[in-house]
């Protein structure tokens, strides 16, 4: 803190109503914290001055750069530098530790402050060149420093001490209690003892631990009520605008590096950290080629995928909802929602969609068509699970941080029943339960309505936990079925031909195809067989004979009971009668028909399992 006395000497905090979009600042302390500080730093100051804790965990975007002063255009540096020179800029002793460099004094580039710090540091724990390198010996040395400060009878001889632990997850990693050997157990107990000590809390001592993934830090430390956790968020549009203006205007002229104004660049780079934005601008600066719309799209995609550590894949489909064949009610719902999103009416859009139906009915294709129509980025989640303790949760935490910063974005999760887990641990030390909890919590956060649009795809919606399917999460359930009539089948042949660059004339198709029960995947396979036959005969055009031969040769998969169960499950999950084909709407008008369908699903399940 730039100004202020120890918590024990402060006035009692008063309550305050949190302002929109930011943490509450205790009015009695508001003048102690510069208003240009980022929100997380002001929250840190509030909690410290309240005197309830002395151990803080900063997590999230801690490896980014942050503005270091209030000057215009200002300077940028690391989060540890901001802590050392701003939050603790006037403190007597500021130390920083990581496993690579050990313990050292921290004052940024201020040599005068380092010189002044040398005396009180050396007096209490010896000269820095004599400090041990072993982390446990360093913790013991810091414990000695804290004890000397708390036991000092003369308040005038007490010093303000801040210790920063960078990359704290490597010092205090998450692991099973049974695996914590004496060394790691001792470290955990020491940190918890510092957090609980009333003497340390009264002695103007602050201990900060920095890690990008909170799940990688020991859960017993994170979960302690004596420890405060504060998230450093991804930069918002205002922060990106300020940084772009600073970087591009260092030579006194804006517009040398991009075709965009700082305001435009800030909007176009949603989801990027300032470090990633710097890479974009530095590339333009070094190459002498301005950043234009085309290069920005390609580079941003790569940078976001790197930020997400390769756990997301951008989807840029050439299809739109005009290419979707089948259920008109489903298509119209998505067309209307895409229009609302384009108009900025995020408050009227769905939190998420559950797209279900038998295998081969085009669930993934429908999601891609929606992504092609909606006009916002679309990503698919890759496998974020890992065999290592805590890494699965860390991967998911990283993913959610990036997605929140990107919004609005469509998030497609294929085979959702297998990917998202459930409340049951299933012998994996609780990982599945924690993953489920993180996903469910994010999906239900209404602050992100219209910003994070979830599309869960599954042929087994009955296996998906009801918590994810309720209203306020994946609230719109869209069932897909095989083509119902001859006209629909013929149109689907035409679309699949266009998709696979193999034009098909529907008039060349034989009659009675609707009776074969072909799925969209089946029709695509027939088109490809016909295309192959034409190419073998050195022809580009698909003839009627090619189509007839391909249809006669094709044998659909014989999973009758399984497919029937999947279709019944889709019908039972549907949230609107307008999404169902006419034959199913008429059938569901019969009394107790839904109960009979549920009984049939249970009977099929028993037959399959037996």
In degrees, rounded to 5, the angle at the alpha carbon of residue 572 between the alpha carbons of residues 569 and 578 is: 120
322 in any annotated domain:
no
Q: Give the 3-state DSSP-derived string for 41-93, with helices as H, strands as E and coil as C.
A: HHHHHHHHHHCCCCEEEEEECCCCEEECCCCCCCCEEEHHHHHHHHHCCCCCE
Q: How far apart are the C-alpha atoms of 473 and 453, rounded to whole Å?
A: 9
Cα–Cα distances (Å) from 29 to 94, 396, 554, in that order, read 22, 36, 76
State whether 383 and 452 are in the same domain.
yes
User: In terms of domains, do 224 and 242 share one?
Assistant: no
ω into residue 566 within 30 of 0, thus cis? no
- Do 272 and 398 have their domain in common? no
Alpha helices in 167-218 (DSSP H): 182-196, 198-201
User: Which tokens go with 198?
Assistant: 């009333």
- The 10s digit of each residue's pLDDT in 392-446 is 777 888 888 888 888 788 899 988 888 776 666 555 566 777 778 888 888 998 8
Same domain, 493 and 381: no
Listed as own residue / partner, the contacts of 584-589 with beta carbons closer than 8 Å and 24 or more positions apart are 584/481
Domain range spanning residue 448? 347-366+373-479
Query: What integer pLDDT is reported at residue 558 of this predicted model?
Result: 63
The reported pLDDT for the residue numbered 303 is 81
For 43-95, the pLDDT digits (tens) are 999 899 888 889 999 999 999 999 998 876 678 999 999 999 999 988 999 99
Q: What pLDDT does residue 179 have?
A: 72
Does any domain span residue 324? no
Measure the CA–CA gap between 322 and 369, rounded to whole angstroms. Answer: 8
Spatial separation of the C-alpha atoms in residues 592 and 581, rounded to whole Å: 19
Say yes or no: 45 and 194 in one domain: yes
| Residues 194 and 228 occupy one common structural domain | yes
Whether 216 and 130 map to the same domain: the answer is: yes
Read off the pLDDT of each residue in 29-41 and give the average, rounded to a whole number: 81
Same-domain check for residues 381 and 428: yes
- Alpha helices for 407-543 (secondary structure H): 416-419, 431-443, 466-469, 486-499, 520-536
DSSP reduced 3-state for 525: helix
- Are 392 and 385 in contact by the 8 Å Cβ rule? The answer is yes
Residues 357 and 471 in one domain: yes
Cut 0.75: pTM above it? no
Residue 23: pLDDT over 80: no
What are φ and ψ of residue 229, in 5° steps? -110, 130
Q: Is residue 544 part of a domain?
A: yes
How many residues would you count in the chain?
A: 610
Report yes or no on 320 lying in a domain.
no
CATH number at residue 385: 3.40.50.300
Sheet hosting strand 227-232, strand order edge to edge = 102-105, 93-98, 161-165, 205-211, 55-60, 227-232
- Which domain-ending residue is among 479, 495, 529? 479
Residues 471 and 538 in one domain: no
Kindly report the CATH number assigned to the domain that includes residue 22. Answer: 3.40.50
Residue 340 lies in a domain: no
Written in H, E and C, the secondary structure of 439-478 is HHHHHCCHHHCCCEEEEEEECCHHHCCHHHHCCCCCCEEE
Q: Summarize pLDDT for 126-145 with one digit per residue, the tens.
A: 999 999 999 999 999 999 99
Which of 194, 216, 232 is at the close of a domain? 232
Decide if 260 is inside a domain: yes
DSSP per residue, 118-168: HHHHHHHH--GGG---SHHHHHHHHHHHHHHHHT-S-GGG---EEEEETTG
pLDDT, mean of residues 188-200: 93
Say whether both 352 and 253 belong to one domain: no
Element (H, E) at 302: helix 293-307
- Token pair 């489920």: residue: 436
- Nearest-CA neighbor of 228 among 253, 252, 206, 258? 206
Q: What is the DSSP letter of 344?
A: T
Average pLDDT over residues 224-235: 94
Averaged pLDDT for residues 148-173: 88
**Cα angle, residue 448 at apex, residues 445 and 453 outer, rounded to 5°:** 105
Of 216, 232, 248, the domain-final residue: 232
75 lies in the same domain as 201: yes
Question: Is 338 a member of any domain?
Answer: no
* Mean residue pLDDT across the chain: 85
Q: Which has the higher per-residue pLDDT, 183 or 309?
A: 183
Residue showing tokens 């028909």: 593
34, part of any domain: yes
Number of domains, the chain: 4
């Amino acid at each position: 803190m730039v100004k202020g006395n120890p918590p024990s000497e402060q006035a009692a905090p008063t309550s305050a109503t949190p302002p929109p979009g930011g943490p509450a600042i205790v009015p009695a302390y508001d003048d102690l914290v510069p208003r240009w500080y980022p929100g997380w730093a002001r929250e840190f100051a509030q909690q410290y001055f309240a005197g309830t804790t002395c151990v803080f965990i900063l997590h999230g975007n801690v490896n980014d750069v942050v503005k270091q002063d209030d000057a215009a255009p200002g300077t940028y540096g690391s989060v540890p530098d901001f802590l050392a020179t701003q939050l603790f800029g006037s403190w007597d002793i500021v130390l920083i530790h990581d496993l690579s460099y050990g313990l050292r004094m921290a004052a940024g580039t201020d040599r005068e402050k380092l010189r002044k710090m040398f005396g009180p540091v050396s007096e209490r724990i010896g000269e820095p060149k004599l400090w041990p390198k072993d982390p446990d010996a360093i913790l013991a040395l810091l414990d000695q420093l804290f004890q000397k400060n708390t036991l000092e009878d003369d308040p005038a001889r007490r010093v303000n001490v801040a210790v920063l632990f960078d990359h704290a997850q490597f010092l205090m990693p998450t692991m099973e209690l049974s695996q914590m050997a004496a060394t790691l157990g001792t470290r955990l107990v020491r940190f918890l003892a510092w957090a609980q000590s009333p003497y340390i809390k009264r002695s103007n001592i602050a201990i900060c631990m920095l890690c990008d993934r909170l799940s990688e830090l020991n859960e017993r430390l994170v979960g302690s009520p004596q420890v405060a956790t504060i998230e450093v968020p991804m930069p918002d549009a205002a922060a990106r605008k300020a940084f772009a203006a600073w970087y591009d205007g260092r030579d006194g002229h804006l517009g040398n590096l991009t075709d965009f104004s700082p305001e435009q660049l800030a909007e176009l780079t949603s989801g990027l950290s300032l470090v990633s934005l710097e890479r974009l601008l530095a590339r333009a600066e070094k190459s002498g080629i301005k950043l234009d719309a085309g290069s920005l799209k390609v580079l941003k995609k790569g940078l976001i995928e790197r930020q997400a550590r390769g756990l997301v894949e951008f989807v840029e489909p050439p299809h739109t909802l005009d290419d979707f064949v089948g259920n008109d009610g489903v298509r119209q719902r998505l067309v209307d929602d895409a229009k609302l999103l384009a108009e900025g009416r995020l408050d009227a859009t769905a939190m998420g969609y559950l797209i279900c139906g038998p295998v081969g009915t085009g669930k993934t294709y429908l999601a891609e068509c929606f992504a092609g129509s909606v006009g916002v980025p679309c990503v698919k989640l890759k496998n974020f699970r890992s065999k290592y303790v805590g890494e699965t949760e860390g991967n998911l935490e990283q993913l959610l941080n990036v997605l929140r910063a990107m919004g609005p974005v469509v998030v497609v999760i294929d085979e959702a029943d297998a990917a998202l887990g459930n409340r049951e641990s299933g012998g994996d030390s609780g990982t599945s339960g924690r993953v489920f909890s993180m996903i469910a919590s994010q999906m239900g956060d209404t602050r992100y309505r219209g910003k994070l649009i979830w599309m869960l795809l599954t042929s087994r919606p009955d296996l998906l936990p009801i918590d994810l399917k309720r209203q306020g999460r994946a609230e719109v359930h869209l069932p897909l079925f095989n083509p119902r009539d001859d006209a629909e089948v013929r149109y689907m042949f035409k679309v699949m031909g266009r998709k696979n660059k193999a034009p098909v004339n529907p008039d060349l198709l034989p009659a009675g195809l609707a009776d074969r029960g072909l799925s969209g995947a089946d029709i695509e396979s027939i088109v490809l067989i016909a295309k192959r036959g034409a190419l073998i005969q050195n022809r580009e055009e698909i003839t009627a004979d090619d189509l007839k031969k391909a249809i006669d040769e094709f044998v659909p998969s014989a999973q009758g009971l399984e497919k029937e169960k999947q279709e019944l499950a889709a019908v039972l999950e549907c949230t609107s009668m307008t999404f169902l084909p006419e034959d199913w709407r008429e059938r569901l008008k019969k009394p107790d028909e839904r109960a009979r369908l549920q009984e049939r699903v249970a009977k099929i399940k028993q037959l399959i399992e037996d």
